[in-house]
């Protein structure tokens, strides 16, 4: 069994990507008539424009959180430098391998005089805190679970970001996620978190809520949203975004996010509405990241 897994492991990411794209293509084929009938009103375009602005703000905020993570290790870095590096390298996550944005941040942080160990640690902690925050929002946003279970999930999330839990995960990721051949990026000491990263964790919760707000506004552009559906949308978005973050073979979560959102929202909304919303939200996300990176690049050149 182990040999079979090792044989298919190099192709696993392509299998996952192929399955998700097939699911999306089949859903579009079955509901393309509904999609063609959808029209965006003037207020809908306003909602999409607002979602675009909020998504840009979310990426700026995420760069700020990365600055906080570096400050957790007493590094004297400039806030605008951290945001600029974060935004410029963020586009690289869509490249095959899904690690090149990490590599770019490590390289730039090392150039700024930050020890390479802390540079690697900062890019490893950030997605872990993102995942924990998304899980927390998803558990609280679910209107189907009991209050006790929601609190239980939230406290489980708080435990996940404890150093005793994070440090073994970081050690594992150093071995499999950031296998860089260049010796100047190899850590010379053991990487570990010394204290509980409460401030960056709260910041990541705000980041997920900002991204979720952008998705909510995108849904609102195509269909009216009832008040009791808001928590459901935030919960579905958080879970879909989390799976797009952690599932291998999906650079930037492309395909995985859309397939998960479709599967979870179809029982409550028309498939044509959900298809249009996830497609536009992906477009908004890519445009927002590109726009933010382009502005920073132009500012840096000038």
Other CB atoms within 10 A of residue 225 CB: 15
**What residues does each domain of the chain span?**
42-301
The DSSP secondary-structure symbol of 254 reads T
CA distances from 196 to 34, 114, 121, 138, 200 (A): 49, 21, 14, 22, 10
Tokens representing residue 223 in the block: 């269909």
Per-residue pLDDT of the chain (302 residues; tens, 9 = 90+): 444 445 554 544 545 545 555 544 555 555 555 544 566 778 888 999 999 999 999 999 999 999 999 888 878 888 999 999 999 888 888 776 667 788 888 888 888 888 888 888 888 888 888 888 888 888 776 555 555 666 676 777 777 777 787 778 777 766 655 554 444 455 555 566 777 888 999 999 999 999 999 999 999 888 888 888 888 899 899 988 888 887 766 666 667 888 888 888 888 888 778 888 888 888 888 888 888 888 888 877 76
Kind and range of the H or E element at 214?
A: helix 198-222
Name the pTM for this structure: 0.80
The CA-CA-CA angle for residues 36, 42, 44, to 5°, reads 65
Rounded to the nearest 10 degrees, how much is the dihedral formed by the CA atoms of 293, 296, 299, 300?
A: -100
- Cα separation, 295 vs 57, in Å, equals 13
């Amino acid at each position: 069994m182990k040999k079979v897994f090792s044989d298919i492991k190099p192709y696993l990411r392509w299998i996952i990507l192929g399955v998700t794209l097939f699911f999306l293509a089949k859903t579009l084929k079955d509901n393309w008539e509904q999609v063609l009938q959808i029209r965006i009103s003037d207020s809908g375009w306003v909602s999409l424009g607002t979602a675009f602005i909020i998504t840009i703000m979310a990426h700026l905020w995420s760069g700020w959180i990365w600055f906080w993570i570096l400050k957790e290790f007493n590094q004297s870095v400039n806030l605008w430098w951290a945001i600029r590096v974060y935004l410029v390298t963020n586009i690289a996550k869509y490249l095959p391998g899904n690690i090149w944005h990490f590599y770019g941040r490590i390289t730039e942080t090392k150039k700024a005089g930050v020890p390479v160990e802390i540079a690697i640690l900062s890019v490893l902690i950030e997605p872990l805190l993102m995942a924990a925050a998304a899980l927390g929002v998803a558990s609280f946003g679910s209107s189907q679970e009991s209050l006790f279970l929601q609190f239980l999930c939230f406290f489980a999330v708080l435990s996940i970001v404890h150093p005793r839990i994070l440090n073994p995960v970081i050690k594992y990721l150093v071995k499999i996620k950031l296998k860089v051949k260049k010796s100047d990026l190899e850590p010379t000491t053991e990487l570990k978190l010394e204290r509980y990263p409460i401030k960056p964790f709260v910041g990541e919760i705000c980041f997920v809520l900002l991204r979720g707000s952008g998705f909510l506004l995108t849904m609102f552009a195509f269909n009216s949203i009832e008040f009791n559906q808001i928590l459901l949308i935030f919960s579905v978005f958080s879970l879909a975004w989390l799976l797009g973050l952690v599932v291998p073979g999906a650079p930037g979560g492309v395909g995985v996010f859309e397939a998960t959102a479709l599967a979870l929202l179809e029982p409550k909304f028309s498939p044509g509405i959900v298809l249009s919303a996830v497609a536009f939200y992906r477009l908004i996300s890519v445009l927002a990241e590109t726009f933010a990176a382009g502005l920073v690049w132009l500012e840096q050149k000038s």
